[in-house]
Every structure is written in structure tokens, then in C-alpha cells.
């Protein structure tokens, strides 16, 4: 299981490696990544490995189209040798690590990419991370469509940590009839709750302490969710406000339905957070189940408190 995967750097090499599998009708499972692989990615690979007896393909490509010119494209970690070890340990068969030129023939530029054909992500890309990072999801969906075209997977595995991305990929597969099974895999966390992310390595020791406020805020909201949406929001906000004194800069805290619409008064929902710690932008999210339990005779007070917290988000 720890034999090294075969590395393909070009589309032709990839096509050659997958041709036999295609002819045999084997199911192809695919995990697109930007490299800098950690235990969260390893978990995606295990999910992919369990989904097929055919080939598991991992792509490693830091996609310039999904980074704004002001973002961390240049300093985004590149750790190919270590990444190949992670893939080997998880029984991955093929690693596709193309150059920018290979994925964007003629080279990539933000100015010219929309001269060509791209994927338009629609309104779901205008909220949350899409509001903070205009064009980000155009870049994500366009490169994932390209990768899907090259790999032609039967099943593709994405992390729930990038929840809005996962929702948009599901939407793309549905709206463009791509016929690919999309699996959303549980977020892997550090023992203290911090969601694993390739960007965590940017954090110094103090920032690392501060960053745990994201998952703590989400957990606090989960605990208060039986008392309704405002109570859940208030619980999360009080932790995030505390962390603000240690340098956490909140981008958004959002309570939504599972498909990122308006939060239901009762039932299943999602809570999502994005914040900057130093210059590092972190995101996290969890499932949440809302209810409308009126705590006790002081319900009026609780409601007033909730309304205040609604306004402060």
C-alpha cells in the first residue's frame, strides 16, 4: 500500500496512465488538491480509496485563477516530495502535478482568462467567501471543470471544510450534467478543535492560540442552537469578540440552511465563519441543529440579547 504513486506532469502522461482503467471500466476516484498535504487531505484520499477498486487520482495544482492578485499565491506552500509521501501512504495510484502552462496553455493572467471560456458560478458565489474574495469561485469551478475533463472521474472527494466550495461544485456537477458523484468528507481537526488547513503553517505560536476561537465559536453555537438561531449566533459572537482583543479580525459569521440559504427557525442548518489572524485568512464551518426552546420565564430578556447579537455580526 505504500508503493509510490506514478507522477504525471502533463495531460498526455495522465491520459496514458488512465487509458487502461477507462477501457476496463474501472471506477476512477479523484481528489483535487493544492498540495501542502496534511491529515485532512489524507482523510479525503482514504474516502476515495474506499470508493473504488480502480485508480485513485490526486491532483496537486496551486491554481492562480482562484487567487486575487493581492492574495497569497506566491507564498502558498509547495511541498511536492512530502506530498508524494502522503499519497503513497494512502494507496494513491496517480498524482497529477501539472505546471501552470499545462493547465492554462499560453500562460495565466487575470486580465486574459475571461477572454476564453470559463465557468460562471452564479449567485451562490456572491455571498460569504465569494463576497470577500471576488472571482475566487470562478477560478475554483473553472479549474475543477478542467481537472474533471482531464481525469474524467466517476467519484470526486472534497473536504467539508471548504463548505461553500463543496456546495458550488455540487451545483456545477448538477447544472452542467457532469455525471460525477461528489462526496463531501468530514473536516479533520487538531485535538483543540482547529480545522486542519495548509494555511495553518503561516501562524506563529500566539496566532495559533487565537485561531482556535473559530472552532470554539462554532461549537458554542452548536450548544446554544436548541434555543434558536439568535441564541446560537450570540454564543459564537461572544467568543469571536473575545478573540478580537487578541488580534482576530472577523470577516463573517453566518448561520444558514444546509445549502447556504436562510437559516431555518428549526431543523438542520450550517454555521460558517471566516476571520483573519495576522495576515492569514482562516475559515471553518459545522453542521448545526436549530430549535425554538423558550428557556424559561426570562424569555423576553434572552430575545432582546439575541436581537443585539444579530446586529453585531
Distance between CA 56 and CA 68 in Å, rounded? 31
Determine whether the annotation assigns residue 59 to a binding site. Answer: no
Determine whether the annotation assigns residue 242 to a binding site. Answer: no
**Residue 33: CB minimum distance to a copy of itself, A:** 18
Determine whether the annotation assigns residue 40 to a binding site. Answer: yes
Q: Exactly one of 41, 110, 114, 136 is catalytic; which is it? A: 41
Contact (Cβ atoms closer than 8 angstroms) between residue 274 and residue 129: yes
Q: Is 7 exposed, middle or buried (0-12, 13-18, 19+ CB in 10 A)?
A: middle
Site membership for a copy of itself, residue 172 (CB under 8 A): yes
Options 60, 157, 168, 237; binder of a copy of itself; rule CB under 8 A = 168
Which residue, 140 or 248, is less far from a copy of itself as judged by CB? 140
Q: Does the annotation mark 41 as catalytic? A: yes
Give the CA-trace dihedral at 213, 219, 225, 227, to 10 degrees.
-70
Contacts of a copy of itself in 18-37 (CB under 8 A): 22-23, 25
Distance between CA 141 and CA 125 in Å, rounded? 10
Options 75, 78, 114, 201; binder of a copy of itself; rule CB under 8 A = 114
**Residue 111: CB minimum distance to a copy of itself, A:** 11
Contacts of the segment 161-166: beta carbons below 8 A, 24+ positions apart = 161/40, 161/187, 161/195, 161/196, 161/197, 161/283, 161/284, 161/285, 162/283, 163/260, 163/270, 163/272, 163/285, 164/124, 164/127, 164/128, 164/129, 164/130, 164/137, 164/260, 164/272, 165/129, 165/137, 165/140
Determine whether the annotation assigns residue 222 to a binding site. Answer: no
Contacts of a copy of itself in 205-244 (CB under 8 A): none
**Residue 262: CB minimum distance to a copy of itself, A:** 15
* 20-39 residues labelled b (16+ CB within 10 A) or e (exposed): ebeeeeeebbbbbbbbbbbe
Site membership for a copy of itself, residue 75 (CB under 8 A): no
Contacts of a copy of itself in 115-134 (CB under 8 A): 115-124
Determine whether the annotation assigns residue 196 to a binding site. Answer: yes
Distance between CA 179 and CA 219 in Å, rounded? 35
DSSP 202: G
Determine whether the annotation assigns residue 313 to a binding site. Answer: no
Q: Which stretch binds a copy of itself (CB under 8 A): 56-64, 140-148, 196-204, 299-307?
A: 140-148
Binding residues for (R)-pantoate: 66, 165
Residues annotated as catalytic (active site), given as ranges: 41
Binding residues for ATP: 34-41, 159-162, 188, 196-199
Interface positions with a copy of itself (CB under 8 A): 11, 15, 22-23, 25, 105, 114-124, 138, 141-142, 145-147, 149-150, 152, 168, 171-172, 174-179
Binding residues: 34-41, 66, 159-162, 165, 188, 196-199
Amino acid at each position: 500500500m505504500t508503493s509510490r504513486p506514478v507522477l504525471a506532469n502533463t495531460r498526455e502522461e495522465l491520459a496514458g496512465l488512465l487509458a487502461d482503467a477507462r477501457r476496463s471500466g474501472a471506477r476512477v476516484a479523484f481528489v483535487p488538491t493544492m498540495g501542502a498535504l496534511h491529515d485532512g487531505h489524507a482523510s479525503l484520499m482514504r474516502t476515495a480509496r474506499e470508493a473504488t477498486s480502480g485508480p485513485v487520482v490526486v491532483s496537486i495544482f496551486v491554481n492562480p485563477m482562484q487567487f486575487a492578485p493581492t492574495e497569497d499565491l506566491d507564498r502558498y506552500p509547495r511541498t511536492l516530495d512530502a506530498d508524494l509521501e502522503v499519497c503513497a501512504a494512502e494507496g494513491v495510484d496517480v498524482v497529477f502535478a501539472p505546471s501552470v502552462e499545462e493547465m492554462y496553455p499560453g500562460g495565466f493572467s487575470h486580465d486574459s482568462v475571461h477572454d476564453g471560456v470559463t465557468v460562471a458560478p452564479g449567485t451562490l458565489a456572491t455571498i460569504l467567501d465569494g463576497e470577500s474574495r471576488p472571482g475566487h469561485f470562478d477560478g475554483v469551478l473553472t479549474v475543477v471543470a478542467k481537472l474533471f475533463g482531464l481525469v474524467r472521474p466517476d467519484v470526486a472527494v472534497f473536504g467539508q471544510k471548504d463548505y461553500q466550495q463543496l456546495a458550488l461544485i455540487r451545483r456545477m456537477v448538477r447544472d452542467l450534467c457532469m455525471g460525477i458523484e461528489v462526496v463531501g468528507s468530514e473536516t479533520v481537526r487538531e485535538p483543540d478543535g482547529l480545522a486542519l488547513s495548509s494555511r495553518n503553517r503561516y501562524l506563529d505560536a500566539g496566532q495559533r492560540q487565537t485561531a482556535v476561537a473559530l472552532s470554539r465559536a462554532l461549537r458554542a453555537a452548536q450548544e446554544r442552537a436548541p434555543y434558536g438561531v439568535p441564541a446560537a449566533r450570540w454564543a459564537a459572537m461572544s467568543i469571536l469578540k473575545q478573540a478580537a482583543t487578541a488580534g482576530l479580525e472577523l470577516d463573517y459569521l453566518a448561520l444558514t440552511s444546509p445549502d447556504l440559504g436562510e437559516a431555518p427557525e428549526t431543523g438542520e442548518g450550517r454555521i460558517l465563519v471566516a476571520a483573519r489572524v495576522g495576515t492569514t485568512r482562516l475559515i471553518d464551518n459545522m453542521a448545526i441543529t436549530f430549535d425554538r426552546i423558550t428557556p424559561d420565564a426570562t424569555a423576553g430578556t434572552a430575545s432582546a440579547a439575541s436581537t443585539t447579537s444579530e446586529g453585531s455580526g
